[in-house]
């Protein structure tokens, strides 16, 4: 298949592009590099020996996107592009709604014009809000979120489901990610957040190489085994392979359907820090601070549906995630900014 990948230079996008190329698919990346680096394209080529086509375009620029879409003439689209910082979304909701919804409308209009009806959408476990106790199952029905970022995912899942119900011929995967971490085993691509990382794993990695003094543990008084928050961390390469599995099964699925992409296991903040300490062979200092607003005590996936219907299962454990995350950070202490070839 020829797959158009929006946000293909980002963390999950880049690993998915590698997985697609390794499976023999053709790829066109659409990315404006607002929150990613062009160096990623070189690294993808280093890993796979194939340089994916690139359209450096803001999806909100509908005219430019039309030209790029027509030129690529894709069989399918994987849509990663979007803003994703939870705290920022609460501070500037209009920007988040305008950007994440507007760019998806631009994409959907182009897909309709060109009769491309196969779409894999980046959703998130955040759409479960606090409506269920873990493990979260897709059957729950009602969706909710506690912040504008999460609401853009809830709204877009609904919009995509409505379109698929109203018009015949659509095949849409709504992939609900749990907590992707780690990096490619080559150490060439990984997570490179701009500014202070919001998420635990990149923060821990920056402490491990001395860029930050200590990890702040957001609360140790949760009703969990060691009192710290538990999450379903999933290796980004497993997640990427989940996208390929969904894409390759979508022809048999009519309409829109949701699948969880997680491991089905919870790991606490303290356990995750300990895994990174083992991988790095050094102590990672931490300080317990108050809970972060809006954080749930525990979240993990029921993976039954993805296993049964996509024939996919995460195979990498926390030690693998820590090893590959550490390798990436150690070789690229300042992320892609260390690459001087550009
Ligand atoms: N967390 C933490 N310190 C940090 C960032 C996160 O203790 O600097 C905790 C957070 O409270 C949660 C877990 O780590 O229990 C994962 O947080 P992250 O932001 O990575 O993912 P999310 O909350 O979106 O699942």
Q: What is the pLDDT of residues 226-260, one digit of tens each?
A: 999 999 999 999 999 999 999 999 999 999 999 99
How many whole angstroms from 85 Cα to the centroid of ligand 1? 12
- Three-state DSSP class for 236? helix
**Does residue 140 have a pLDDT over 80?**
no
Asked about 177 being catalytic, the answer comes back as no
Q: Residue 260: its pLDDT value, please? A: 98
Characterize the bridge pairing of strands 53-55 and 171-177: unpaired
Q: Which phi-psi region, left, alpha or beta, contains residue 272 (left: φ > 0; alpha: ψ -120 to 50)?
A: alpha
CB 79 within 8 A of CB 104: yes
Among 149, 177, 203, 233, the active-site one is 149
- Tens-digit pLDDT profile for residues 159-194: 999 999 999 999 999 999 999 999 999 999 999 999
Question: Ligand 1 centre and the CA of 216: distance in Å?
Answer: 9
Structural domain span for residue 318: 2-338
Structure tokens at 191: 């997570």
C-alpha–C-alpha distance, residues 86 and 150, integer Å: 8
Return d(Cα 13, Cα 133) in angstroms, integer.
29
Give residue-wise pLDDT tens across range 267-315: 999 999 999 999 999 999 999 999 999 899 999 999 999 999 999 999 9
Please say whether the dihedral angle defined by the alpha carbons of residues 220, 225, 231 and 237, taken in this order, is positive or negative: positive
CB of 321 within 8 A of CB of 233? yes
The pLDDT score that the predictor gives to residue 339 is 87
List ligand 1's pocket residues with C-beta within 6 A.
179, 198-200, 203, 216-218, 229, 231, 269, 292, 295
| pLDDT tens, residue by residue, 42-95 | 999 999 999 999 999 999 999 999 999 999 999 999 999 999 999 999 999 999
Q: Is the pLDDT of residue 338 over 90?
A: no
Residue pLDDT, tens place only, 85-121: 999 999 999 999 999 999 999 999 999 999 999 999 9
Atom of ligand 1 nearest to the CA of 86: 24
CATH number (domain holding residue 203): 3.40.50.720
Number of domains in the chain: 1
Say whether 228 sits in a helix, a strand or coil: coil
SS3 category, 192: coil
Please name which of 94, 114, 99 lies closest in space to residue 60, comparing C-alpha atoms. Answer: 99
User: How many other C-beta atoms lie within 10 A of the C-beta of residue 126?
Assistant: 25
């Amino acid at each position: 298949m020829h797959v158009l990948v929006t946000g293909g230079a980002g963390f999950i996008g880049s690993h998915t592009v590698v997985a697609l190329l390794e499976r023999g698919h053709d790829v066109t990346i659409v990315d404006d590099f607002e929150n990613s680096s062009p160096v990623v394209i070189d690294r993808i080529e280093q890993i796979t020996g194939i340089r994916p086509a690139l359209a450096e375009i803001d999806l909100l620029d509908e005219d430019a996107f039309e030209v790029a879409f027509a030129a690529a003439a894709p069989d399918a689209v994987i849509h990663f592009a979007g803003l994703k910082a939870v705290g920022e979304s609460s501070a500037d909701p209009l920007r988040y709604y305008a950007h994440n919804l507007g760019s998806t409308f631009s994409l959907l209009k182009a897909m309709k014009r060109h009769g491309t009806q196969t779409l894999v959408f980046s959703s998130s476990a955040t759409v479960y809000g606090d409506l269920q106790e873990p493990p979260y199952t897709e059957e729950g029905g009602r969706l909710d979120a506690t912040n504008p970022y999460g609401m853009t995912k809830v709204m877009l899942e609904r919009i995509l489901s409505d379109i698929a119900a109203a018009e015949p011929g659509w095949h849409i995967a709504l992939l609900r990610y749990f907590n992707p971490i780690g990096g490619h085993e080559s150490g060439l691509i990984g997570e490179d957040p701009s500014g202070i990382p919001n998420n635990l794993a990149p923060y821990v990695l920056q402490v491990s190489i001395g860029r930050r003094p200590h990890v702040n543990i957001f609360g140790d008084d949760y009703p969990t085994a060691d009192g710290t928050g538990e999450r379903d961390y999933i290796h980004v390469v497993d997640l990427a392979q989940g996208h390929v599995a969904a894409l390759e099964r979508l022809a048999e699925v009519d309409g829109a359907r949701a699948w969880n992409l997680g491991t089905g296991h919870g790991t606490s903040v303290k356990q995750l820090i300990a895994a990174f300490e083992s991988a790095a062979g050094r102590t990672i200092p931490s300080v317990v601070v108050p809970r972060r607003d809006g954080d749930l005590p525990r979240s993990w996936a029921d993976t039954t549906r993805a296993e049964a219907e996509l024939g996919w299962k995460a195979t990498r454990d926390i030690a693998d995630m820590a090893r590959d995350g550490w390798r990436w950070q150690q070789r690229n202490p300042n992320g892609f900014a260390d690459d001087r070839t550009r």
